[in-house]
Amino acid sequence: MLDPGAMAGQEKSPPARGPPRRRFGRLTLDMRQRLSPWKQSGFLAGSLVIGLALSLGVLALAGIAPRTLAEELAGTLNADSLRAVLVQAAPLILVGLGASLAFRIGFWNLGLEGQMIFGGIAATGVSLYAVGPVSMRLIIMGLAAAAGGLLWVLLAISLKIRFRVNEIIATLLLNYVATYFLFHLLYGAWQDSKTAFPQSTPLRPFERLPDIAPGINSGLAIAIAMVVLAGWLVHLSRVGFYMRFLSANPGMAKVLGVPIQAVTIGAVAASGAAAGLSGFINIAGQEGRLTQSFFNGYVFSGVLIAFLSRNDPVIVTIVGFLVAVLYVTGQTLQVFYQIPFTMVQLIQAIIVIAVASSEFFIRHRISWTH
């Protein structure tokens, strides 16, 4: 517990007699034992402000003055943009949920994009082969998508359990396998014969998510339902209780008879299924067909959302909306100011780093003594 290193004098002490004088004082690093939740939130908010300020600086360097940005952000408040944010939030909330469920038990699922791809492929397959009656088609597509994501992540976890393959590597690299399998389909058997573009034939109208309000498809409703389900699982159910112990102290969980394997596989499977559903929402909600880019950037956003929300499903919803605002603003900037999409990812990265460093200040105290 108490293992702080007191470090770093700022100058070499002179060899002269008597106690050496220090011109610059001394930096001391201590472990904190406790910090009130208020102060913790203070550090978190402070780091967010710093992250946003840095992002503003980067955007200014890219030629977007803070004033222009403010105008664009204010522009997001109009009805059209707000609708775009609500539509964009649904897949983001679901990948965030997927990431947080796996991270909760210490499984670093970086394969969210691969799982989205297989969710999208499974849903599109149901449409192409006209599986089931028309009235049930959309539900079957959704279930197929969840199953697709689930099976794809099961590959990674069975590699981990059977052969101890690190899941960070396995899930991340399986993204590429999934991407190229998708390309194989889109440039081959599933290519739209009418347009000859690398995308599938469009979904039929009854295979697309109906609107719950004008311009807002029911993807958001699905996402919220999943948030409620995950919130129950994590906070109220016995499985959620086990998950807390599994991540807090696996050695203890083993001794106390927590069904480690079952809980791990269950949480990871749920994570994959959520990502698969996210793919389904992008296909059946926004794109209307299987495209070669409907998953781009989501792994990073999912990790960001889970990280900022400390893996809490309820907070995932809030952060998901904020990231959606970033996406929509980013799209506007892309169109009107020729800013690349990577700029949105850069801003996400800056915020992640800022929040990650706040953790250091929450755990340590730095004091300056003379």
Q: CB of 313: closest distance to other proteins in angstroms?
A: 16
Q: Evaluate whether 223 touches 89 at the Cβ level (below 8 Å).
A: yes
- Of residues 43 and 341, the one with the C-beta less far from other proteins: 43
Q: Give one word for 36, left, alpha or beta, with left for phi > 0 and alpha for psi -120 to 50.
A: beta
- Of residues 202 and 250, the one with the C-beta less far from other proteins: 250
H/E run at residue 40: helix 37-61
Spatial separation of the C-alpha atoms in residues 329 and 68, rounded to whole Å: 12
**Residue tagged 């002269």 (tokens):** 16
Q: CB of 179: closest distance to other proteins in angstroms?
A: 37
Q: CB of 134: closest distance to other proteins in angstroms?
A: 35
Binding residues for other proteins (CB under 8 A): 1-2, 4-9, 12-13, 17-20, 22, 26, 28, 30-34, 236-242, 244-245, 248-249, 251-252, 254-258, 365, 369
Joined together, the tokens standing for residue 219 give 């993807």
Q: CB of 329: closest distance to other proteins in angstroms?
A: 36
Q: Evaluate whether 230 touches 99 at the Cβ level (below 8 Å).
A: no
- Of residues 4 and 75, the one with the C-beta less far from other proteins: 4
- Of residues 8 and 196, the one with the C-beta less far from other proteins: 8
Q: Evaluate whether 102 touches 268 at the Cβ level (below 8 Å).
A: yes
Find, among 3, 6, 2, the residue nearest to 368 by Cα: 6
In one-letter notation, the amino acid at residue 99 is A
- Of residues 239 and 318, the one with the C-beta less far from other proteins: 239
Q: CB of 109: closest distance to other proteins in angstroms?
A: 21
- Of residues 100 and 282, the one with the C-beta less far from other proteins: 100
Task: Tell how strand 26-31 and strand 364-369 pair up.
Answer: antiparallel
Strand, helix or coil for residue 194: coil
User: H helices then E strands: how many in the chain?
Assistant: 13, 4
Beta strand segments in the chain, E: 26-31, 211-213, 216-217, 364-369
Q: Please, how many CA atoms are within 13 Å of residue 225, restricted to the half-sphere of its CB?
A: 7
- Of residues 253 and 328, the one with the C-beta less far from other proteins: 253
Q: CB of 41: closest distance to other proteins in angstroms?
A: 17
Q: CB of 30: closest distance to other proteins in angstroms?
A: 6
Q: CB of 43: closest distance to other proteins in angstroms?
A: 16
Q: CB of 8: closest distance to other proteins in angstroms?
A: 7
Within 105-218, residue ranges assigned H as helices are: 112-128, 137-163, 167-186
Question: Max Cα separation, the chain?
Answer: 93
Q: Evaluate whether 223 touches 94 at the Cβ level (below 8 Å).
A: yes
- Of residues 17 and 164, the one with the C-beta less far from other proteins: 17
- Of residues 205 and 251, the one with the C-beta less far from other proteins: 251
